[in-house]
Structure 1
Amino acid sequence: MQTHQYDVVIVGAGGAGMRAALESSTRARTAVLTKLYPTRSHTGAAQGGMCAALANVEEDNWEWHTFDTVKGGDYLVDQDAAEVMAKEAIDAVIDLERMGLPFNRTPEGRIDQRRFGGHTRNHGEAAVRRSCYAADRTGHMILQTLYQQCVKQDVAFFNEFYVLDVLLTHDLTSGEVADGEQVQVSGVVAYELATGEIHVFRAKSVVFATGGAGKIYKTTSNAHTLTGDGMALALRRGIPLEDMEFFQFHPTGLAGLGILLSEAARGEGGILRNSDGERFMERYAPTIKDLAPRDMVARAMANEVREGRGCGPDKDYVLLDLTHLEPAHIDAKLPDITEFARTYLGVEPYTEPVPVYPTAHYAMGGIPTTIDAEVLRNNTDVVGGLFAAGEVACVSVHGANRLGTNSLLDINVFGKRAGIAAARYATEAPWVDLPEDPAGPVVGEIERLRDQAAGERVADVRRELQETMDANAQVFRTADSLTQAMDDVTSLKKRFAAVSVQDKGRRFNTDLLEAVELGFLVDLAEVVVAGALAREESRGGHFREDFPTRDDEKFLHHTMAYQRPAATGGTEIVLDHKPVTMTRYQPMERKY
């Protein structure tokens, strides 16, 4: 076992992690731990853009952006956080431009902007051009730009280091630590993929920027590595997860595959059509049609299919029509996603509409934080020195449904805030002693998995988990479907205890680490389903067919889910609530 010491340790090297590293590394000794080479992080898959009220193309202002974010999130957004994000969006874009990010330009040389779902002018009057973009490779460009800047600043990267535990001064899993009592982070424990060696990183500040958990679903736009590591580690250490029942299903995944076609296609004029050739979104969102928020478009598409207006031999998808656009326009603005259609479906977007269907895309919930990215261990108390930013976190700027392009904005605004706050804490706080045997639990779990002679296959348990989540906890949900999902997840938790791995070696043992990641997925699926069962209303990405209306009287609050020891052994999910922060926008009917 090796021990390292840094003022700040950042876990994850996607957009949020590297944006945090750029800030903290100039102020404190910083290390970035990442289970992937940084430029392979999932931020690179984001296509469409990053929004800011620059008003480069049309009249716009940050207050309209704030309103759209709150309304798009179905009024579960913490409005103080939304105001921070919308205000700081402009500087976030300009920061990236000055770092060298090659945004598309207007003929006058300004950063170009295009329309995106749910972004409107004057509180809903019409769609507005707010998304700053680099063709349909915006996330890729952000990731490359941030990594280049980190290299320039000599940020210390530990690549292919899997963080498997976070070390705290108190055991929060029992729920018995008194409110107001100081709890601090002392470091993390990581597994080095190349050698199988365990490393303990002592730190004054730790920033989680580990991304989402889309692999709890079978049909997803998320990479194989998005297994919710940071969320699950926090949950297992007694920290709550907020609003995990709200999962976004992106409308335009390639049918049957889930590979994403960006909302930018609709922003550039793409039209969704059913088997009758009808532009059906005119019936669901008459004002902004195909550019309605993602949850509304995804449900409309699923509804068209189940009412018999789907396309294809099995009538199980709808069509995204780009054929009315000039090929030169498509090539200039949408080069990657049209190539995806050609490569994976054999469809030529110039002349043929593309088969699409909703795909699991983004977790609105996550580790609860303040607007300065401090992790909350209950509704009010922070964990000293522990921060989170990006999809792993829930500062709640996305509420019940995230607007497109707000994710790349979120990672830059709150990644920057996390880096500054973590460095500030590290310069002011004393060192905290490590536990007596800091790596003991990690070593025990790894050896248990490696030594298990025979048992369940990781792939079998993961496949069954993903299938039940797809079937029972996706776009449409009911008490019956969610109860079935919970029964299945409970069974899979027991089966996970008997999982064995075929590779017993130490070097580059991805078989072993996929088993560890499966444990994270099972834990998080349980939280998603528990929250969805308890929330007997429909709001944003959570749609209960047995409770089809929003119920502000009973459910205008955040869900706080804690993992606690169960009386019968093992663990269970205990739910609590947290009030939504309101500033200027009171809930009203959400229509477009």
Structure 2
Amino acid sequence: MTIPVRRFDAVIVGGGGAGLRAALQLSESGLKTAVLSKVFPTRSHTVAAQGGISASLGNVQEDRWEWHMFDTVKGSDWLGDQDAIEFMCRKAPEAVIELEHFGMPFDRLENGKIYQRPFGGHTQNEGEAPVQRACAAADRTGHAMLHTLYQRNVRANTQFFIEWMALDLIRDEDGDVVGVTALEMETGEVYNFHAKGVLFATGGAGRIYAASTNAFINTGDGLGMSVRAGIPLEDMEFWQFHPTGVAGAGVLITEGVRGEGGILLNANGERFMERYAPNLKDLAPRDFVARSMEQEVLEGRGCGPNKDHVLLKLDHLGPDIIKQRLPGIREIAIKFAGVDPIKEPIPVIPTCHYMMGGIPTNYRGEVVIPKGDNPEARVNGFYAAGECACASVHGANRLGTNSLLDLVVFGKSAGDSMVEFIKNEMPTWKPLPANAGQISLDRIARLDNQTGGEEVADVRAAMQRTVQARAAVFRNSENLALGVKEIQEVAERVKRTQIKDKSKVFNTARVEALELENLIEVAVATLISADARKESRGAHAHADYQERDDEVWMKHTLYYGEDRRLTYKPVHTKPLSVEYIAPKVRTF
């Protein structure tokens, strides 16, 4: 079967913040750019980001990018690459001012400057006191950013392919990336997108967990495609649990609530974070707060009939602040928790939120993998940005509001790198391999021909139960070893999934089955990587190895899917222009 071909200078998979920021860079450089997205771009998961985007503007109190860098390195538990962290924190003010000039409707101070609120782990002068660094548009910052970037792309004539699902990466005999295959959901047809450069901005994969703040579209598609194409995944053991998901629903309650003055209470009505983090209290980094909350529940101080959550109190802020700064949060609390936060507290529990690992990249957005003596050789024509990428600015734990910053800084950086590569190194297209797209056709044919197989929903639920039980906030050797065995059994079941609907037009059953093939790659990578790391660092809290071990474990994990093996590479300890920030014990 001949697969029809569409040809572009650049193809971007994913229409969220990182994909749109990169597309803008490419389209405005005069390159013919396509963005493939499973949903309309303004429905991408970036729209769910609530609290803000960090930048050391110093609009409310003195701030410096060096302090932002220190907080990010400390927040990462020294697993973050310091060159990439410096790059991001230095670029932050410029990135936010650029968004403002694009028309993003930030909240304002009385003097007209951008409003900034405090956020977890962000401090003045290396931990002295909380600092107001999160630039916010009420509690809908991601929504405002996504619409702003989409409008700029319409102006720049970026070409959108909406309700298209990328299926597989196309690499030639040299290992260079020359395109992707994609499924047009409306017709069920498969196309080859031939490109000089491909960027993945496919977002996270939080749907490997049973309880997640992630949208149903967050199925790790970029990671699954990378693994199948022989690209390793970096640091997949590190998953952030957001302290405040609505208990029983998983819907996100922004850290901005605590930035505005909200406090966490246990069943005794005690503000318990004062015991765990006497300086930063409720505004300690997320891994710290999530573990503290879990500890309260484990020690019997949980709230509700099942004593399985804690309370987030914000009624003392007053109706005006809640209605002005947190209108979306009030709406979520009423709809999903049945409480009005103006009158009563919100029941919350740590919930899977963010993937610190991903496709290995440098701060230029280039995908880099070990080759010969080089631990970070560039994969020609392949780029990644946003949550699916691991430039490792977040290391073992991300600070709140650094995710939106990551999207725009590295989206732009990757876009610049692609422009440079396409114009200087790839003036014409490399030919597509003769079998381009065959792997995708085989995957679809397997689903269409499978009989007597398993239901996709059953296998997906088994995967989510396993990951939730074995790789949650607290981990131990016995659980992780069991998890590795169980998730590999689930992976075998994925090979036998079936769909009853064989039609082509808008076949959501087929899309979900293909998404599960990506999710299982992420789930297996997570458990194998976590089982191997014998220490506690950031979000990886290991009950049998409770200390951080910098001598042995200050290194990045690389997981290869074809034989499920691990290798490691060093953390970048050399910043671009400042002195190395040496490791110390994290206290708050």
Question: TM-score per shorter chain, which class?
Answer: over 0.9
Q: Paired residue for 1:395?
A: 391
Alignment of 1:373-452 (within 5 A): 373-378=365-370, 379-428=375-424, 429=426, 430-452=428-450
Q: Paired residue for 2:267?
A: 275
TM-score, length basis structure 1: 0.96
Which of these residues, 121, 124, 129, is aligned with residue 121 of structure 1? 124
Moved more, 533-542 or 576-585: 576-585
Q: Given the alignment of the two structures, is residue 555 of structure 1 paired with residue 553 of structure 2, yes or no?
A: yes
Q: Paired residue for 2:205?
A: 213
Q: Given the alignment of the two structures, is residue 6 of structure 1 paired with residue 8 of structure 2, yes or no?
A: yes
Q: Paired residue for 2:475?
A: 477
Give secondary structure in 1 for the equivalent of 2:5: strand
Q: Paired residue for 1:306?
A: 298
Q: Paired residue for 1:534?
A: 532
Which of these residues, 517, 520, 539, is aligned with residue 519 of structure 1? 517
Post-superposition CA distance 1:317-376 (Å, at most 9, x none): 000001211110111000001110101111110111110000100000000101110001
Q: CA deviation at 1:185?
A: 1.1
Give distance in 2, aligned partners of 1:437 and 1:468: 36
Give distance in 2, aligned partners of 1:215 and 1:548: 27
Alignment of 1:234-249 (within 5 A): 234-249=226-241
Contact 2:291 2:473 in 1 (8 A): yes
Give secondary structure in 2 for the equivalent of 1:144: helix
Which of these residues, 326, 335, 353, is aligned with residue 318 of structure 2? 326
Post-superposition CA distance 1:128-156 (Å, at most 9, x none): 00000000000000000000111111110
Q: Which amino acid aligns with 1:589?
A: V
Q: Paired residue for 1:193?
A: 185
Give secondary structure in 2 for the equivalent of 1:391: helix
Q: CA deviation at 1:121?
A: 0.1
Q: Paired residue for 1:586?
A: 582
Unmatched segments (≥5 aa) in structure 2 = 575-579
Q: Paired residue for 2:357?
A: 365
Give distance in 2, aligned partners of 1:104 and 1:21: 26
Give distance in 1, aligned partners of 2:422 and 2:294: 49
Q: Paired residue for 1:38?
A: 41
Question: How many residues align structurally?
Answer: 574
Give distance in 2, aligned partners of 1:136 and 1:23: 27
Contact 2:23 2:415 in 1 (8 A): yes
Give distance in 2, aligned partners of 1:183 and 1:473: 33
Identity between Structure 1 and Structure 2 (%): 53
Give distance in 2, aligned partners of 1:380 and 1:580: 12
Give distance in 1, aligned partners of 2:329 and 2:458: 31
Q: Paired residue for 2:66?
A: 63
Contact 1:451 1:504 in 2 (8 A): no
Q: CA deviation at 1:73?
A: 0.4
Give secondary structure in 2 for the equivalent of 1:377: strand
Give distance in 2, aligned partners of 1:43 and 1:288: 27
Give distance in 1, aligned partners of 2:365 and 2:323: 39
Q: Which amino acid aligns with 1:587?
A: P
Give distance in 1, aligned partners of 2:257 and 2:321: 11
Contact 1:10 1:208 in 2 (8 A): yes
Contact 1:185 1:432 in 2 (8 A): no
Give distance in 2, aligned partners of 1:383 and 1:432: 14
Moved more, 299-308 or 369-378: 369-378
Give secondary structure in 1 for the equivalent of 2:176: strand
Give distance in 1, aligned partners of 2:272 and 2:298: 14
Give distance in 1, aligned partners of 2:445 and 2:206: 27
Give secondary structure in 2 for the equivalent of 1:324: helix
Q: Paired residue for 2:577?
A: none
Q: CA deviation at 1:462?
A: 0.6
Give distance in 1, aligned partners of 2:495 and 2:226: 20
Q: Paired residue for 2:542?
A: 544
Unmatched segments (≥5 aa) in structure 1 = 171-181, 565-571
Q: Which amino acid aligns with 2:478?
A: D
Which of these residues, 175, 185, 199, is aligned with residue 183 of structure 1? 175
Q: CA deviation at 1:408?
A: 0.1
Give secondary structure in 2 for the equivalent of 1:67: helix
Q: Which amino acid aligns with 2:520?
A: V
Contact 1:48 1:405 in 2 (8 A): yes
Q: Which amino acid aligns with 2:409?
A: V
Give distance in 2, aligned partners of 1:523 and 1:419: 27
Q: Which amino acid aligns with 1:581?
A: H
Contact 2:265 2:311 in 1 (8 A): yes
Give distance in 1, aligned partners of 2:566 and 2:329: 40
Q: CA deviation at 1:453?
A: 2.4
Give secondary structure in 1 for the equivalent of 2:386: coil
Post-superposition CA distance 1:6-46 (Å, at most 9, x none): 11111100000000000001221111111111111000000
**CA-based RMSD:** 0.8
Q: Paired residue for 2:108?
A: 105
Give distance in 2, aligned partners of 1:405 and 1:364: 14
TM-score, length basis structure 2: 0.97
Give distance in 2, aligned partners of 1:4 and 1:271: 53
Contact 2:232 2:369 in 1 (8 A): yes
Moved more, 516-525 or 218-227: 516-525
Give distance in 2, aligned partners of 1:495 and 1:83: 44
Contact 1:9 1:207 in 2 (8 A): yes
Q: CA deviation at 1:377?
A: 2.2
Q: Which amino acid aligns with 1:59?
A: E
Q: Which amino acid aligns with 1:34?
A: S
Give distance in 1, aligned partners of 2:155 and 2:27: 11
Alignment of 1:80-159 (within 5 A): 80-159=83-162
Q: Which amino acid aligns with 2:360?
A: P
User: Any runs of at least 4 consecutive aligned residues in structure 1 with deviations exceeding 3 A, and if so which?
Assistant: none
